[in-house]
Amino acid sequence: MGLLIIYTTVCGFLLNTGVTLQIQCYQCEEFEKHDCSSPENIVNCTVNVQDMCQKEVVMRSDGVLYRKSCATSAACLIASSGYQSFCAPGKVGSVCISCCNTPLCNGPRQRRRGSSAAAPATRLHVTDTLLPFLLVVLLT
């Protein structure tokens, strides 16, 4: 409960002070060859509304479909949790949806350099951490 109060206080302060919160994401729908991560697919999301980037990867019998877009945190987290049971990377029929909240985080995967003990990526995926919090907020 204390976290909810802190979160709403910070959000309220930022909105009242006129600070705009905007994120950039990749936005596109492409099949197979490209994963929509070229500079012409970069968009500015709606200020103070679309606060996350969403990435959907659909494995079909004829290849891979990529969908990327800006999203609200509620819509993205609900979609990603709803499709969690259908996510089986590399398997035909798989639908994987992920959400993240750093600029251009729905872009290409970072390639690891060196050994398998490479430092973890700094990209923040919030599906597992914020989903329970979001559901509590939405249900109260």
- Distance linking the first and last C-alpha atoms of the chain: 11
Q: What pTM was computed for the model?
A: 0.65
User: Does residue 122 contact residue 103 with C-beta atoms inside 8 Å?
Assistant: no
Report CA torsion sign: 40, 44, 46, 51. Answer: positive
How many Cα atoms occupy the beta-carbon half-sphere of 124 within 13 Å?
A: 7
The pLDDT of residue 110: 61
In single-letter form, the type of residue at position 22 comes to Q
Mean pLDDT per 10-residue section of the chain, whose length is 140 residues: 46 49 91 80 94 95 93 95 92 95 88 45 40 46
